[in-house]
A and B are shown apart, each in its own frame.
Chain A
Amino acid sequence: MSGPTAGGGEPNAGGVNPDKDLNAQNLPGQRGEHGEAIRVQRGMFGARNGGDTSGYGGLVRTVRLPGEATRPYGGYFDEVADELEGALEEQGLLPESVIEKTVVDRGELTFHIAREHLPRVARTLRDDPALRFELCTGVSGVHFPGTASLHDVGRELHAVYHLRSITHNRLIRLEVSVPDSDPHLPSIVDVYPTNDWHEREAYDFFGLVFDGHPALTRIMMPDDWQGFPQRKDYPLGGIPVEYKGARIPAPDERRSYS
């Protein structure tokens, strides 16, 4: 099912290993000690203030994402990786500095790309006849707050691109990580004009700033909206809604029931 993965994270920092608990063990596809530990979650629902009303407060769980893969990746993945590395070398770039890591998981190939090299990589993937990923299916943001403590540089915000090659009938994924404190990454609208709206959406919801985008404005939320709603630290309630000058109190403050 999943490709070969090498353990990248340290073996369990926080006492109980939930990957070993009964619930988890009985599920298929558990990763056990392998993978890259990004966070230790306590409790079930992420709430920290207030009493343990859910009864899950004692739950400790290390979140492990799939770790770096080692060669061979299997299938056409090796060919894609070889061609990409070769093409980057031809352009005078060190593949190791461009591709931070390669993950093969669940039959899918992911290249983690250093953000400054993203446009070059995208252009190479599109134009190289042996790669020819003509179709970009947009960008999806993912927010992993609190991962900074486990890494030297913050990698909280991820931009995930899926590229499809119709010529070779292949699909790969690019992932770019940027810190919360500096959520800038280059736009690839030049290479894939379809990403125009997709990057605006990722900006709207995650605050990822795509430098070089022709008009990076909000696309779904109102122009004057504050904050980025799909970030994990965005408040779910308790804040007034402000829209075009009108102010509507938070639901729990709209009426007095006493």
Chain B
Amino acid sequence: MSASQASPRETTEGTVYTVTGGDWDEVAAAAKQADDERIIVNMGPQHPSTHGVLRLILEIDGETVTEARCGIGYLHTGIEKNLEYRTWTQGTTFVTRMDYLTPFFNETAYCLGVERLLGIEEQIPDRATVIRVLLMELNRISSHLVAIATGGMELGATTIMIYGFRDRELVLDVYELITGLRMNHAYVRPGGLAQDLPPGAVDAVRAFVKKMRKNLPEYDKLATGNPIFKGRLQGIGHLDLAGCMALGATGPILRATGLPHDLRKSQPYCGYDTYDFEVPTADSCDAYGRFLIRIEEMHQSLRIVEQCLDRLAPGPVMVADKKIAWPAQLALGPDGLGNSLDHIKKIMGTSMEALIHHFKLVTEGFRVPPGQVYAAVESPKGELGVHVVSDGGTRPYRVHFRDPSFTNLQSMAAMCEGGQVADVIVAVASIDPVMGGVDR
């Protein structure tokens, strides 16, 4: 396409591509001069301690890491490109799979972007917004639980892993009750939600909050004061405020430097300014501080969840505008969730216009006025930003996810170089990267 791509050259061994811009010559020259102690270790992409298909390329001298680099892209699924060939509503089914541990954040961020492009932000029913907040905060708990659980497992603290996944299962049960799925929900839709809360959901969430209140202190007993745990985490993966700003690190990494930056407070969306909660910080700039922040954030999320339950008032969960709102009314039938029988009767029996309308909206979708927006939410990992561009069509022209895992993972080198090999694991775990979000 242009001269900028790798230029091919025919050799007896086949086509050779010269990748420009790399510092391979320097790398090769430096490798020649190296002493015998210096080894390059490939950690991953299948190593259980690298959080999925992350490849760490470590240059080590004895036990000291002298250089650390990441190889990513093993989980690239082309979701952003795929979105451009689906309707705006179908997009939510794709974005939920990006960072698969924070599906509700992906969906909400995307839908906030689409809704701002449509100019219907003010028309989103309160009930839909409250349920979004409720699910996002439950999701923050489940994401932090996985971060703590896998981080503990990588240290050999398998009890933390068992506890973390035990409690996450409670959250997943709530998801399953509300959305029908444990992951990849596609529950938040442009304009509102796919369906209302099922009967019994509020009670289930209340029971969960009660149970979680009892379980959360166990992590303190198990880990927070544990001298071995502290010994492994304190002072590891150091990244100060200047480093965070330069590397664009947000979320617990940034708050562990003492800066209480949280988009829920600074740029409130979904009515977060009306909820009562605190932004925990630490000033240790290390993995232990990030662990403490995650624990405290789960406590705060429980507070928000309770406030959501208290303010849930009956009402619609989708915008009233029939040109945007999904036409079908979902109902649970003997063969699972589907269009309600009343709706089928109406469009098949009494109203041809309704049938046409249903058909057009479902197959073609609604149009979104041209323009671009940037919608950002505070995901458990940091700032999740969505750049949505429309050209006025029924499908997104371009959607870009600024996933916090991707950006934060860049700080791996700064955290690991000069440290011990064993501390690389701790540092990476404290970043909490999810490769589905990194590679998208």
Contact = CB atoms under 8 A, between A and B. Distances in A.
Interface residues of A, number: 76
B374 A162 contact: yes
A216 B369 contact: no
A65 B4 contact: no
B5 A27 contact: no
A162 B249 CA distance: 15
User: Chain B's interface: helix, strand, loop or mixed, by majority?
Assistant: loop
Contacts of B323: 26-27
Contact of B410 (A136, A194, A214, A228): A194
B23 interface: yes
Contacts of A2: 119, 371
Contacts of A141: 398, 400
A64 B118 CA distance: 15
Contacts of A173: 372, 374
- Max chain B CB contacts within 10 Å: which of A1, A140, A207, A231? A140
Interface string A173-184: 100000011011
A213 interface: yes
A64 B389 contact: no
Nearest to B403: A138
B116 A194 contact: no
Nearest to B395: A45
A119 to B, nearest CB: 15
B402 A138 contact: yes
Interface string B274-301: 0000000000000000000000000000
A61 B387 CA distance: 23
A23 B308 CA distance: 37
Interface in B227-266: 245-250, 259, 261, 266
Nearest to B319: A28
A223 B6 contact: yes
Contacts of A23: 367
Contact of A65 (B250, B368, B371, B398): B371
B17 A223 contact: yes
A108 B373 contact: yes
B119 A29 contact: yes
B422 interface: no
B370 interface: yes
Contacts of A136: 248
B383 interface: yes
Contacts of B177: none
Interface in B60-91: 72-73, 76, 78, 80-81, 85
A193 interface: yes
Interface string B169-183: 000000000000000
Interface residues of B, number: 65
B21 A217 contact: yes
Contacts of A90: none
B1 A245 contact: no
Contacts of B207: none
A229 B400 contact: no
A216 B5 CA distance: 11
Given A30-B369, A138-B407, A209-B4, A194 B119 contact: no
A219 B78 CA distance: 13
A21 to B, nearest CB: 10
Contact of A207 (B2, B259, B367): B2
A120 interface: no
B366 interface: yes
Given A140-B400, A209-B4, A228-B1, A196 B410 contact: yes
B355 interface: no
B59 interface: no
B397 interface: yes
B133 interface: no
A142 B374 CA distance: 14
Interface in A36-55: 39, 41, 44
Contacts of A196: 410
Contacts of A245: 14
A70 interface: no
B73 A220 contact: yes
B17 A224 contact: yes
A194 B247 contact: yes
Contact of A226 (B5, B76, B80, B85): B5
Contacts of B80: 205, 230
B193 interface: no
A217 B281 CA distance: 36
B246 A227 contact: no
Contacts of A230: 80-81, 398
A149 interface: no
A205 B219 CA distance: 43
A142 B389 contact: yes
A239 interface: no
B371 A63 contact: no
Contacts of B373: 106, 108
Nearest to B250: A135
26 contacts: A1-B119, A24-B392, A27-B323, A27-B324, A41-B393, A66-B371, A105-B372, A106-B119, A137-B374, A137-B402, A138-B248, A140-B400, A142-B372, A162-B374, A162-B387, A173-B374, A192-B248, A193-B247, A194-B407, A197-B406, A205-B80, A207-B4, A218-B73, A224-B6, A226-B6, A230-B81
Given A27-B366, A65-B370, A203-B4, 16 more contacts: A27-B368, A31-B369, A135-B250, A137-B376, A137-B407, A140-B402, A142-B389, A142-B398, A180-B2, A192-B248, A194-B247, A197-B406, A197-B409, A207-B5, A221-B73, A223-B6
By Cβ-Cβ distance, the 4 closest A-B pairs, closest first, are A194-B248, A29-B119, A140-B400, A216-B21
Interface of A: 1-2, 23-24, 26-31, 35, 39, 41, 44, 61, 63-66, 105-108, 110, 134-138, 140-143, 160, 162, 164, 166, 169, 171, 173, 180-181, 183-184, 192-198, 201, 203, 205, 207, 209, 213-224, 226-231, 236, 245
